[in-house]
C-alpha cells in the first residue's frame, strides 16, 4: 500500500462540473455538502480515512492477526477465485455510506469509491494484470427498481483511472435471488449458482470482478467458479468494503 497521505490528497482533488452548482455534491462519508466542488470527500474525512492495512488473509484480503495466513472463511472453504482485496472495513460508517449510495440516490459516491479502488488497489492491479474489469451483475428487476447497477458504476470509475476495459456483457444474473442473510454458506451457494450465467467468452482471460461489498464471499466464489469453468485463466476481485471475521 502507498503512503496514505499522498492518496488522500488525490482523493480530495477530484473533478468539478457546472452541475455542482445545480446539485451540490456531498461527502460520501459524512454526507455534508462539499465546500470544494472539485473534491471527492471533505478534508475532515480525508484526514480520517482508514483503508485496511496490516495483516490480511492471503486469499480474500480480510484482516487477520499477524500469525494467520488465511481467514476463518478461506480456511474452511477457499473460494474459487485466485485472490481478492477490499479497500475499507465494512464498519458502521461504510455501511451507512454504501446504503446511501445504493438506496438513497447518492450515485455520485461512485466517483469517490472508484477512485479509492484505484488508488488503494493499484499495487494489487499491477500484480494481477487483469485484461478486463467485470462488475457483478444485477437482476433486471432490481436494476429497474434501483435505476443503476452499483457495481457497474464502480467498474467504470476504476476503468477510467486504471485504463482497463470494462465488460458488462460477460455475466448475467438471470434469476433474482432471495435475501442471502438467513442462509448458511451451502444454502447461499446453491441459491446463487443457478442465478448467474456466463454469457460471453472469458477464454484465456484474466478477470477482475468488482462489487461494492464482500462479506461471506459466496457471490465471488460462484462467479469465479463459473468463469474458470468457461475457460478464464484467472479471476480476482476488488471491492470497496470487506467484512471481518473478527
Ligand atoms: Zn466528510
Ligand atoms: Zn480469506
- Of the bound ligands, which one is closest to the alpha carbon of residue 96? 1
Range of the domain at 36: 1-49
Task: Report the SS3 class of residue 103.
Answer: helix
C-alpha grid cell for residue 218? 459466496
Top-confidence residue, 52 or 246: 52
Q: State pLDDT tens for residues 150-191.
A: 999 999 999 999 999 999 999 999 888 776 667 777 777 888
- Of the bound ligands, which one is closest to the alpha carbon of residue 26? 1
Burial tier of 146 (Cβ tally within 10 Å: 0-12, 13-18, 19+)? middle
Query: Cα of 10 to ligand 1 centre, how many Å?
Result: 15
Asked whether the beta carbons of 208 and 134 are under 8 A apart, the reply is yes
| Domain CATH code at residue 149 | 3.40.50
Residue 107 and residue 224 in one domain: yes
Query: Cα of 33 to ligand 1 centre, how many Å?
Result: 8
Q: What is the pLDDT of residue 96?
A: 95
- Of the bound ligands, which one is closest to the alpha carbon of residue 60? 2
Task: Name which of 212, 81, 210, 227 is nearest 155 in CA terms.
Answer: 210
For the chain, where are the E strands, in sequence order? Answer: 83-89, 132-135, 171-173, 196-198, 206-214, 234-242
Strand 171-173, strand 196-198: pairing: antiparallel
Gap between the Cα atoms of 137 and 167, Å rounded: 11
Q: State pLDDT tens for residues 92-117.
A: 999 999 999 999 889 999 999 999 99
Q: What is the pLDDT of residue 12?
A: 61
Q: State pLDDT tens for residues 189-212.
A: 888 888 899 999 999 999 999 999
Residue 105 and residue 223 in one domain: yes
Residue 33 and residue 100 in one domain: no
Query: Cα of 55 to ligand 2 centre, how many Å?
Result: 11
Q: What is the pLDDT of residue 2?
A: 54
Residue 78 and residue 122 in one domain: yes
The stretch 116-131 carries a mean pLDDT of 97
Query: Cα of 152 to ligand 1 centre, how many Å?
Result: 24
Query: Cα of 44 to ligand 1 centre, how many Å?
Result: 6
- Of the bound ligands, which one is closest to the alpha carbon of residue 74? 2
For the chain, the domain total comes to 2
Asked whether the beta carbons of 135 and 151 are under 8 A apart, the reply is yes
Query: Cα of 14 to ligand 1 centre, how many Å?
Result: 14
pLDDT at 144 over 70: yes
How many Cβ atoms from other residues are within 10 Å of residue 118's Cβ? 22
Residue 45 and residue 77 in one domain: no
Top-confidence residue, 88 or 22: 88
Amino acid at each position: 500500500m502507498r503512503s496514505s497521505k499522498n492518496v488522500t490528497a488525490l482523493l480530495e482533488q477530484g473533478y468539478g462540473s457546472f452541475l455542482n452548482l445545480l446539485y451540490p455534491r456531498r461527502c460520501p462519508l459524512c454526507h455534508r455538502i462539499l465546500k470544494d466542488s472539485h473534491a471527492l470527500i471533505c478534508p475532515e474525512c480525508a484526514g480520517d480515512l482508514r483503508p485496511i492495512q496490516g495483516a490480511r488473509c492471503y486469499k480474500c484480503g480480510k484482516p487477520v492477526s499477524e500469525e494467520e495466513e488465511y481467514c476463518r472463511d478461506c480456511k474452511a472453504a477457499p473460494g474459487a477465485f485466485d485472490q481478492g482485496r477490499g479497500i475499507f472495513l465494512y464498519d458502521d460508517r461504510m455501511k451507512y455510506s454504501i446504503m446511501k449510495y445504493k438506496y438513497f440516490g447518492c450515485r455520485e459516491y461512485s466517483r469517490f469509491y472508484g477512485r479509492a479502488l484505484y488508488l488503494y488497489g493499484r499495487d494489487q492491479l499491477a500484480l494481477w494484470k487483469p485484461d478486463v474489469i467485470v462488475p457483478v451483475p444485477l437482476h433486471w428487476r432490481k436494476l429497474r427498481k434501483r435505476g443503476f447497477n452499483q457495481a457497474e458504476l464502480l467498474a467504470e470509475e476504476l476503468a477510467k483511472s486504471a485504463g482497463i476495459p470494462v465488460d458488462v456483457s460477460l455475466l448475467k444474473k438471470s434469476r433474482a435471488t432471495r435475501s442471502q442473510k438467513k442462509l448458511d454458506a451451502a444454502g447461499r451457494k446453491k441459491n446463487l449458482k443457478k442465478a448467474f450465467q456466463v454469457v460471453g467468452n472469458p477464454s484465456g482471460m484474466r478477470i477482475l470482478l468488482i462489487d461494492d461489498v464482500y462479506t461471506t464471499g459466496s457471490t465471488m466464489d460462484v462467479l469465479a467458479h463459473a468463469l474458470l469453468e468457461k475457460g478464464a485463466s484467472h479471476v480476482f476481485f476488488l471491492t470497496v468494503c470487506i467484512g471481518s471475521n473478527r
